[in-house]
Structure 1
Amino acid sequence: MKIIVTDEVTGEGLALLQRDPRITLDVRLGLSKEALYACIGEYEAIITRSGTTVDKALLDAATSLKIVARAGVGIDNVDVDYASSKGVIVVNAPFGNTNSAAEHTLALLLSACRHIPAANQSLKSGDWKRAKFTGVELKGKVAGVIGLGKVGGRVATRLKAFECEVLGCDPYISAKRAQDLGVRLVDLAELCRSCDILTVHTPLNDETRGMIGAAQLALMKDGIILLNVARGGILDEAALLAALQSGKVGLAAVDVWSEEPPKSETLRQLIEHERMVVTPHLGANTQEAQVNVAIDVSREILSYLDGTPLENAVNLPHFDPAVMDQMRPYFKLMAVLSEFGLQLLKGSLDRVTFGFAGAIAHQDCSPLTVSGLAAMLGRATDQPVNMVNANLVAERIGLVVEEHKSTDGGAFSNLVTLTLEGSGKTRVLSGTLFEGTPRIVRLRDYAMDFMPEEHMLLLSYLDRPGMIGKIGTVLGQHDINIACMNLGRRERKGEAMVVLSVDTPVPAPVIAELQRATDATFVRALHLPSAASV
């Protein structure tokens, strides 16, 4: 195999490849686009960091390319979808900088608590001031960790070593995983109210963008210490600046920014604030982390050559082609059911069961189980999750995954049922295909029949006259159009469940208004990206 290295990658990692007689390794740094396009056709693998953009143009020129190895966590510079369409495997190194990021979090926290940057500058400028830099200890503080994945879990362990009481907020971590870490799981509101220190360690996505904003800051204790060493945008920077200026936030430490390098006036004021400790996205910048990511991607390339499973492949399914062809029509259904069910639970997920009934039960359903699991975990972790690594991710977070089969599909020739358990709650939903189109036919013990859409709204309430009108009125007042409605109930004037397809997302204030208008026992706005093209 002929491999090109286009960005700085440590020699310790590349040595693994250089020792293998099957490999010819060319380190060619600083190539212009034109020069890279001209030579890339010779190579079967490319190793990059963030300096090389592996886009459509490069992939089209790379006529022999088999694998893209990104020596780092992020894959923003790789067009993964187009690589997949070309049959090119993409691998990354999601665990190489885990310790580095965790240690940097504690470095920032201690620096903020003991005013180390300001004290250092003061002494270097010739002053001898001590009282001004009186700090606070970590011992006895209540520390909250949002996101207990590979970095957050390590941060929690280190905080406990400083004799902090640690609370955790992570709806995708099992109770057993939290127990193993010695962390008490709570919801976000309780975390905000209880903590003296709060640090975030989640991926940046639709659920986490702006997760810590003005509303959450208002719940916090005066003098709270805030940290963000995860992704810029999770912590609302304008709200943080206002809270620092008002004194609500006592100290803050930030390594990542919504704009890098920061240029806006808000970020300038935030960075210059005297109670802020800041660094320019250095969480992964240690010698050890750079060695680790190089070794990790080199091992992935060797595994590819050896024909063994790739642990960190972003886009590669590993199933018999004949089985995949049989299961392919159901992949969309699995993604929709998983996204729908995960948003219904909204709590700690401990167990997920995939049930297959009817004629489909005679087939190998493992591709469907893994694809559904990947769709579910893809919303929950700070690494890309796919059919290759879904089971590994589930095992790491302590999620129990089961598959049940029955040849009796009842009224349906084929039926897929998803059961989610966690936080003392169970959510059950079933779906099938009608002429190749996904339909959801059961929610809990209600018989339903609706086609999932990208934006949906689900309510449970006591059935009585005028309820549908109230719902329509509230949505109409906020210019939210109802595209379709499905109603289920067990008996007259008993509990009813209504599922609405809407043209636009339903904001949180409208959800609250609907709850007040209907006395609903359950209201949830759902976003199903997988249903957008259904």
Structure 2
Amino acid sequence: MKVLITDEISQEGLQPLLDDPRIELEIRLGLTPEELHRIVGRFDAMITRSGTTVDAALLEHGRRLKIVARAGVGIDNVDVDAASSRGIIVVNAPYGNVNSAAEHSMALMLSLCRNVPVASASLKSGEWKRAPFTGRELKDKTLGIIGLGKVGGRVALRAKAFEMTVLACDPYISPKRAEDLGVKLVGLEEIVRYADIVSLHCPRNAETIDMINARHFDAMKDGVIIVNCARGEIVNEAAMLAALQSGKAAGAAFDVFSEEPPRSELVRQLIAHPLMVVTPHLGANTFEAQKNVAVDVSKEIVRYLDGQPLESAVNIPKFDAELMQVMQPFLSLIQQMGEFIVQLAPANPSKVTFTYNGKLARYDCSPLTVCGLAALLNRATEQEVNMVNSQLIAEQMGICVETVSSTEAESFSNLITITLATPAGRRTVAGTIFEGMPKIVKMRDFNTDFQPEEHMLVISYADKLGLIGKIGTILGEAGINIGSMNLGRRAKAGEAMVVLSVDTPVPAEVIDRLAASVDAAFIRAIHMENASCID
């Protein structure tokens, strides 16, 4: 695997990649978009930080790209939708710089409240002044935290240690999470109304852009302080500047801006304001954080190469890590089932239904669904289909995807059933894990019991004496060895179905001869490309 690195990444953190002989690293820093477009097509994976914009145009040139890794928490510079549509996995490092970001928020808050930057500059210039730099204590102040996630939660704990009263606004966390942190969960309007200091820790998205604007500043306490170590666009910068100029805000501490580096006059004026404490997006810039995020994304690339579940993919569904050991065999099973049924079904499927019965139904089965869907669709389109883009491609193809779960089970403790509906009829296949191995246990209304193999032959016919012998004779005369045989039938002298595994592909002329010999109602040669991947 060839991996392109386009931004400064901790060399120590890249050690998992350097230690893997399968991986070839190439570091190319400071490239223009045009230069990146020319070379990205040679790589299977790409590691960036915030300095590279991974947009649709770049991804279009990355024809071999399988995974894009962002060595940091945010993914603002990666077009996740464009990556998903191309089946490219996007991973980040959501935990590696969490502590650094929280500590930087506290550093800015304390620096602003105690006038550290201006006092330092004054003393270095030869002055000895104290009165102009009288500060504020954090004790007994009300801190309003917007976004009580990984970073916001750590800021809350540190603020509590400073004996602050902490209010938090986050519609996506549970009351218990706030209770565990010792903070009061409130709405945004209460944060705005009661907080002495407002600290932001939420992602940049459609919901959060301009989350704090002129209307909110009007409702804030006089002398409020704003701390932003999240994303620049969350606070309306024009409104922030106006609040500083009017005296509504006693100060602000920003690590992030809508333009990085700043270009517009507005952002330059905001940064230059004497009541601003600013840093150039340093929240994650500690030696520890840089190593941690590099290690995290490096390990994700190795996991991808090993076919292991990814822990920090942002555009594929994933299981809780504790469940993966239980669920992993079913990913292999449903992949085999999808690849198997699509070769039996008529063309133009309009609907596919995934049904989960038994203990399996207690879990989140969405990764199983997208894995099975990818196996189904990979033979229907030239584009590579995987867990990332299978649902998008199904939608584009007009295929309805349905899932049904029930903890009730009859013959098996766990059962997965795939049903394809087409204009020419339905096809159903069901499978389970037996003694650690995938088994197909039902086809249509025939009970079966076989393990998918690379080369297979499925034949249905009217059950008559001697037909199994004829099938064996014809295959033997063609030099094709039968590895195993599974026979199912509805009743004596009724319809029968035989599933054969064979050592080599069955030529078309042999299939025609078999069909004529047994008067086959259905005959199909199956090639399972991924059968050898199952342990």
Q: CA deviation at 1:162?
A: 0.8
Matched residue SS, 1:137: coil
Matched residue pairs, number? 354
Letter in 2 for 1:188: L
Alignment-derived partner of residue 3 in structure 1: 3
Alignment-derived partner of residue 91 in structure 2: 91
Alignment-derived partner of residue 418 in structure 1: none
Matched residue SS, 1:252: strand
Alignment-derived partner of residue 148 in structure 2: 148
Measured against aligned partners, the alpha-carbon deviations of 1:97-127 in whole angstroms (never above 9, x if no partner) come to 2111111111111111111111111111111
Measured against aligned partners, the alpha-carbon deviations of 1:204-240 in whole angstroms (never above 9, x if no partner) come to 2222222222222222222112111111121222222
Q: CA deviation at 1:84?
A: 2.7
Letter in 2 for 1:238: A
Q: 1:160 & 1:132 partners in 2: Cα distance?
A: 28
Q: CA deviation at 1:38?
A: 5.3
**Does residue 265 of structure 2 align to residue 252 of structure 1?**
no
Q: CA deviation at 1:179?
A: 0.8
Alignment-derived partner of residue 159 in structure 2: 159
Letter in 1 for 2:72: G
Matched residue SS, 1:257: coil
Q: 1:49 to 1:215 in 2, by over 3 A?
A: closer
Alignment-derived partner of residue 136 in structure 2: 136
Contact 2:199 2:227 in 1 (8 A): yes
Letter in 2 for 1:84: S
Q: CA deviation at 1:329?
A: 8.7
Q: 1:282 & 1:159 partners in 2: Cα distance?
A: 20
Q: 1:10 & 1:369 partners in 2: Cα distance?
A: 32
Alignment-derived partner of residue 305 in structure 1: 305
Q: 2:217 & 2:282 partners in 1: Cα distance?
A: 26
**Does residue 244 of structure 2 align to residue 269 of structure 1?**
no
Q: 1:247 & 1:58 partners in 2: Cα distance?
A: 45
Contact 1:330 1:368 in 2 (8 A): no
Contact 2:145 2:167 in 1 (8 A): yes
Q: CA deviation at 1:362?
A: 7.1
**Does residue 172 of structure 2 align to residue 175 of structure 1?**
no
Q: 2:244 & 2:32 partners in 1: Cα distance?
A: 45
Contact 1:200 1:228 in 2 (8 A): yes
Letter in 1 for 2:22: R
Percent of residue pairs bearing the same amino acid type: 60
Letter in 2 for 1:155: V
Q: 1:247 & 1:153 partners in 2: Cα distance?
A: 30
Alignment-derived partner of residue 322 in structure 2: none
Letter in 1 for 2:289: A
Alignment-derived partner of residue 110 in structure 1: 110
Pairing of 1:120-519 with structure 2 (within 5 A): 120-317=120-317, 320=334, 366-367=364-365
Contact 1:93 1:312 in 2 (8 A): yes
Measured against aligned partners, the alpha-carbon deviations of 1:458-482 in whole angstroms (never above 9, x if no partner) come to xxxxxxxxxxxxxxxxxxxxxxxxx
Q: 2:305 & 2:105 partners in 1: Cα distance?
A: 37
Q: 2:218 & 2:314 partners in 1: Cα distance?
A: 39
Measured against aligned partners, the alpha-carbon deviations of 1:321-346 in whole angstroms (never above 9, x if no partner) come to 567999x9999xxxxxxxxxxxxxxx
Matched residue SS, 1:171: coil
Q: 2:256 & 2:232 partners in 1: Cα distance?
A: 5
Q: CA deviation at 1:406?
A: 10
Q: CA deviation at 1:249?
A: 1.3
Q: CA deviation at 1:30?
A: 4.8
Q: 1:175 & 1:32 partners in 2: Cα distance?
A: 47
Q: 1:72 to 1:371 in 2, by over 3 A?
A: farther
Contact 2:213 2:235 in 1 (8 A): yes
Contact 1:48 1:71 in 2 (8 A): yes
Letter in 2 for 1:130: R
Contact 2:74 2:92 in 1 (8 A): yes
Aligned CA-pair RMSD: 3.6
TM-score (norm 2): 0.59
Q: CA deviation at 1:39?
A: 4.8
Q: CA deviation at 1:94?
A: 2.2
TM-score (norm 1): 0.59
Matched residue SS, 2:168: strand
Letter in 2 for 1:220: M
Q: 2:61 & 2:102 partners in 1: Cα distance?
A: 39
Q: CA deviation at 1:64?
A: 3.4
Matched residue SS, 1:233: helix
Q: 1:137 to 1:329 in 2, by over 3 A?
A: farther
Letter in 2 for 1:186: V
* Larger-gyration structure (1/2): 2
Contact 2:300 2:310 in 1 (8 A): yes
